[in-house]
Amino acid sequence: MKMIYLANARIPTEKAHGLQIMKMGEAFKKQGVNLDLVVAKRINNQLESYDPFEYYGLGVKFPLKKLWLIDLVDGGKSFRGLSVPIQNTSFAISAFFYLLFKKADIIYSRDEFSLFFLSFFKKNLALELHTFPQSKIGLYKFIFKRVKKIIVITQKLEDLVVKLGVSKDKIIVCPDGVDLEQFDIKESKKKCRQKLNLPLDKNIILYTGHLFAWKGVYTLAQASEFLSDKELIIFVGGMEYDRDKVKDFIEKNNLKNILFFSHQLPTKIPYFLKAADVLVLPNSAKKKISVEYTSPMKMFEYMAAKRPIVASNLPSIKEIINQDNAALVKPDDPADLALGIKKILTDQLSGERIVDNAFRIVGDYTWQKRAKKILNFIQ
């Protein structure tokens, strides 16, 4: 099969979608797909010197084409909210002209704007849907009718698409995944802490990923008030702007025992996870994307790392996680989050049980199995 994977993304990027795109590219390639990845040629001074395949720790390579676009977003310019629409539209137009006469069995994309233009001339289109903003409902209705297949990451997203009149036969639910080999590291917790210069005498409570409010990071910071000085909360990742906002919140509220690490190479994350005593998924219940749409890659990475998880009790999270493989707590409740953390720290047998159950399940959510499922569905 010849596949062109089209993504309006800068590669490499510090954002999670870059990892997902590259890992799926690798998985498609390992399934025998003749794959070309087409992405955006955007400004990214921080990461532009990295080889994308080395940056993401990929074992195989495939052609990677970067298309021109008007990049005002990463250029730091704004025209009264028009920067993002200009960037999205210019990439879609660029992709249209690049792909118009390209031969492929399937054009696979997460970019609805590009598929809108291509759908007037191409029928071999597949959309991977990760969110469902109401502001784009008219665009989605149009695209849903014209694409061949729709891949969604949660059951709730499938329900929303079906409500718009799309047949279930056209949709498949495929949550995100993980590379189990990447998280199968030989170093002990102590060795990982020494490698990362982390304290050996603290109970480390760890969160990785972006620091958006809907991900519950402020709730986790507030949970420090209900923990002892022996516990250390560590945030790994996030954009500088969001990191500064969380730090300001911590300072204003006089919160203590919190440590930050800036964005890390994806290949370094397994060592941070193994260095922890508890891994936290504190998603908020205040945004639909958190409650219904998200399928966090960190969730699968936490499960693969063989460390106990404390997670918000939300429908999106509970599509994978339950009380048998995690400690579930009330979202947006720092005291209950702290209570869940303390239960894990004090009940070793319970922690070991949920770790074993989580690792047993995560084997069903590898990138390879996800790619195989999608390919079978498309074919």
What's the pLDDT score for residue 73?
A: 63
Q: What confidence tier does 138 reach under pLDDT thresholds 50, 70, 90?
A: very high
Average pLDDT score over residue span 132-144: 92
* Long-range contacts, 42-51 (Cβ 8 Å, 24+): 42/10, 42/69, 42/71, 42/73, 42/74, 43/10, 43/71, 43/74, 43/75, 44/10, 44/12, 44/13, 44/74, 46/14, 46/263, 47/12, 47/13, 47/14, 50/12
Domain(s) of CATH 3.40.50.2000: residues in the chain: 2-178+366-378, 180-362
H or E stretch including 4?
Answer: strand 2-6
Q: What's this model's pTM, rounded to 2 decimal places?
A: 0.95
Average pLDDT score over residue span 253-257: 98
Please provide the DSSP assignment of 35-54 as one string. Answer: EEEEEE----TTTTTS-HHH
What's the pLDDT score for residue 77?
A: 55
56-77 pLDDT, tens digit each? 999 999 999 999 998 876 555 5
Distance (Å, whole) CA 267 – CA 247: 26
Average pLDDT score over residue span 339-355: 96
Which residue's entry shows tokens 């590898």? 366
Provide the residue type at 49 as one letter: S
Phi–psi pair at 93, nearest 5 degrees: -65, -45
Quote the tokens at residue 61: 């390579």
Q: Residue 126 above 90 pLDDT?
A: yes
Q: What confidence tier does 52 reach under pLDDT thresholds 50, 70, 90?
A: very high
Which residue's entry shows tokens 């006089």? 254
Distance (Å, whole) CA 369 – CA 105: 21
Distance (Å, whole) CA 21 – CA 6: 9
Residues in contact with 373: Cβ distance below 8 Å, sequence separation at least 6, in sequence order: 172, 174
Question: Are 297 and 19 contacting, i.e. CB atoms less than 8 angstroms apart?
Answer: yes
Residues in contact with 76: Cβ distance below 8 Å, sequence separation at least 6, in sequence order: none
Which residue's entry shows tokens 């079978």? 376
Fold of domain 180-362 = Rossmann fold (3.40.50)
| Distance of alpha carbon 171 from the chain centroid | 21
77-88 pLDDT, tens digit each? 555 567 888 899
Task: CATH number for 2-178+366-378: choose from 3.40.50.12140, 1.10.150.120, 3.40.50.2000, 3.60.15.10.
Answer: 3.40.50.2000
